[in-house]
A and B are shown apart, each in its own frame.
Chain A
Amino acid sequence: VMLLESGGGLVQPGGSLRLSCEASGFTFRSYSMTWVRQAPGKGLEWVANIRYDGNEIYYVDSVKGRFTISRDNARDSLYLQMHSLRAEDTALYFCAREDVDMVTSERVIDYWGQGTLVLVSS
């Protein structure tokens, strides 16, 4: 399993950025995917999730209306479109795979990419 994020960089407050995650080593279209972020020196924050078929999408309240998660199963790719960026969005953004936990039947994050850094600053 490999997850390779890209698209991070320096952006001014109010700006936009699109993150990508290229998946390999597994059947991408069969897995739900999640974006998790980590501000410098801080803990992990769950950001957004998309079901394997794209038909269910969820966001943390702080990004609702500004971020859009999407996927292209033909390209084995996950995306995060970010608008109206704020200083508090500065973080390392991880792409993560979810798999079904056979004990609880819920989906748990089992693999992570290395992350792509987003810096929002003027």
Chain B
Amino acid sequence: EIVMTQSPATLSVSPGERATLSCRASQSVSSSLAWYQQKPGQPPRLLIYAASTRAAGVPGRFSGSGSGTHFTLTISSLQSEDFAVYYCYQYNQRPPHTFGQGTEVEIK
């Protein structure tokens, strides 16, 4: 099973600032990496797939990068609605697929 490790666990950011979230895989997942946003009481929402492709309707301030074992989600200018928990997810080849443990982006 591929282990996904996210850092930091919590990121304190002021509105308008940039946030950078990291995700590492225990072995290469090529570009089969997605990012999800989850707010309290809601299911996750797909933000990024294929490491860097924004899902439909996702604002341009969200961007993803990386391949292989190291990935990054960047939120260029945090808005109030962006404070949430973010999960990376590898879906490379056959299951089981795995999630990272999450990064909470909180208001500083």
Q: Please report A residues at the B interface, Cβ cutoff 8 Å.
A: 34, 36, 43-46, 49, 58-61, 94, 101, 103-104, 106-115
| Cα distance A109–B98 in the bound complex, in angstroms | 12
Q: Among A44, A111, A114, point to the contact of B87 (Cβ < 8 A).
A: A44
In the bound complex, residues from chain A placing their C-beta under 8 Å from that of B107 are none
7 CB-based A-B contacts, threshold 8 Å = A43-B87, A46-B96, A61-B1, A101-B50, A103-B53, A108-B46, A108-B49
Q: Are A114 and B43 in contact (CB under 8 A)?
A: yes
Q: Among B38, B94, B99, point to the contact of A46 (Cβ < 8 A).
A: B99
Given contacts A49-B97, A58-B94, contact A112 B44 (CB under 8 A): yes
Q: Are B98 and A46 in contact (CB under 8 A)?
A: yes
Q: Kindly specify which of B16-24, B26-34, B76-84 makes contact with the partner chain.
A: B26-34
Q: Which 6 A-B pairs have the closest CB atoms?
A: A103-B50, A112-B43, A58-B95, A44-B99, A106-B32, A43-B102
CB closest chain-A residue, reference B43: A112
Q: Enumerate B22-61 residues with CB–CB distance to A below 8 Å.
A: 30-32, 34, 36, 38, 43-46, 49-50, 53, 55
Q: Which size class do B's interface residues fall under?
A: 20 to 34
Given contacts A43-B100, A44-B99, contact A110 B46 (CB under 8 A): yes
Q: Please report B residues at the A interface, Cβ cutoff 8 Å.
A: 1, 30-32, 34, 36, 38, 43-46, 49-50, 53, 55, 87, 89, 91-102
Tell me what chain A mostly uses at the interface: helix, strand, loop, or mixed: strand
With A44-B102, A49-B97, A103-B50 given, name 11 new contacts (CB 8 A).
Answer: A34-B97, A43-B100, A43-B102, A44-B87, A44-B99, A46-B99, A104-B30, A108-B46, A108-B49, A108-B89, A114-B43
| Cα distance A110–B54 in the bound complex, in angstroms | 12
In the bound complex, residues from chain B placing their C-beta under 8 Å from that of A114 are 43
Q: Among A60, A94, A109, point to the contact of B89 (Cβ < 8 A).
A: A109
Write the nearest CB–CB distance from A98 to chain B, whole angstroms. Answer: 8
In the bound complex, residues from chain B placing their C-beta under 8 Å from that of A34 are 97
Write the nearest CB–CB distance from A70 to chain B, whole angstroms. Answer: 16
Q: Are A108 and B34 in contact (CB under 8 A)?
A: yes
